[in-house]
Structure 1
């Protein structure tokens, strides 16, 4: 015969029909309290202020329905101890009274308090980590030393600080080994393998960047998600860099000041250099937002993409007035014309691009244009007139407009107008009659040729 263990309530109160306590029983966990003083007192007088109404509700529910719902309240013991309890009240048979059984919620309350404290501590730790991350980001961006974060499995750049972008022209997504001189690539691979085993290795000298200048490279392996990364610190070799020629400084200033957008791309269309005018077109706040990105990210017109532009460059070496549209980061669109040329000699891997905003030049015709107004009336019939009728009316409006323009160019001479339109005189006369233009061009009807 199986045994069934029945948990004893922590507090059992025997009540009369008015809610006055007639008997009290405590579990072993609650012994030591002189609860006999409760006998003869209303149950509502032994609980906290908030629990008074709940006690009255449980007593009324038990009297009318036989059992009450569970309610939480604070039970005050004669010793002054206050314990959170959960009670339900049951009516006994006939007028025998009521029984209220309660469970001690002190352990649950302590558990909830601990959980709340743990949540608060976790939130404080989270904000401390955010503060540390923010400080690290500020140091990363403000460092005058070129710093790269490179994925250990693919050796692709995950992040590059502004100093690295300015000095080396390296941006996120690039393969770091391709920026290293071929004779130093094996040395860099060996150094990274040692860094993977040891965590950190001393610096070595490598040649990298567009000018293949010497740099000191240090590598540190760091844990990251989804894969470990190498922290590469790069410092130029030598006490002072070679002075920049004044002509180069002036050229840089001019490129920044020209009103047209100027870009320097690699052969795959990835941006290596961008002036302020392009940042304005692309609605980007800083060069780091566009450097390392493909120009195709902002070209929006189908059939006039970066692939088409690069294909024409490969075929002809240069492209002029390549028409397309450009969409900025905030959604603004502009009609643009692109001129580009492939680099030669030392710049053979580069593409120079000039982008001009021609939106004003291609602005739509004024709203008082007769042809535009007539076509607007036809488009307003969409949904109310069958498509074949709309096409026929559109063709008639355009035909009438062309005839009118030809007559103006020919100063009303019908024979000359017919030649401009590639029509015979008889065909022109029929169309003039159809559109009511014969009265307007009465001069020169005969012998106007």
Structure 2
């Protein structure tokens, strides 16, 4: 046999432990060690050096352990201690709460009961349960937060469903990455004459006529990004029904979603007097260029005719840009038109030049209307390119130049040039005064003159005291 001490663990034997290190071992495996008598009197206290509430137990020698417990723990500890003393088998560890000073805060400790060699003495090894209690509290808080989120999700889900099914227009949602329809409402199912379950999981292209479905997603995306409310027409597959698609793009959970409102086209009345449809058709297909701007000249929207006029591919590149940057005289032109339109509500005709980044300037005539869109003023510019015939007609009706031509043969070239210069200068001043509605400051700025120089020329041509706008 192996002598005792050479092989320490043999048949349940425990090696001899020196008394001076036994206390260190006990405090290492427990936070609190209490040696109590059978009546609960504390005979000795052992504390782990890392235990944070050492001061609570260091002065408990000679006191009864029940005095340090709350009411509920006293009764529970008394029953468990009595069961241990009567030898009713193995006694499970007990969790009790020690009172702090003043009895306000409590310290949870889990004690296990152990017999020691000294007669009538019991060893209690306790473990601080506060870390476990904090973890349990965190788990409870997390569970409650999950339940609140779940209830909020169910609430929003219910509101979403009610809103979706109460919409009069058909509504569908498409995941742009896959093109699959993920949501559809009852109105869309009625419009397509299909059950809602048969629509979900399909692609939008499968519902639209094949000739239009090839690039439909791209067209809907471009229309949604442009921000305009113009719908896109499409024909349902296998039917002659035409539907109007109004797209909107948003992002949810890291995916781009395309929301489409689907409706049958509005049927015009017998007289064809559907103002909204007619105006939209005029804006989209009319030959005249139409531009809407804010009060400061920032472009809000333009039609295709204006894009063709200045040679721009898409109106997205113009939105938010100042319209004066495209005019010949820039802010001077815009200021004159805006001030005149603000005074009377409209300006019938204003001649200037307009050009994009790459095209050459073109002669245009602009009509301006000012109106309120909600609480904000908006200017509508209807722009028409001036033809060569108009320029020839203007030349024929120009009496000033005709009188100059009559001087040839009767005056020297120097006199004719001098007379011509005076005629042109007078015409320019009269035109500037007329365009600015006799606003001398704006006219001087338009002509590139100082106010003093303009007044000198007005006196020279006898225009100072008469209304040249007549």
- Could you say which TM-score interval applies, normalised by the shorter chain? 0.3 to 0.5
- Structure ID, larger Rg: 2
Length-normalised TM-score, structure 1: 0.45
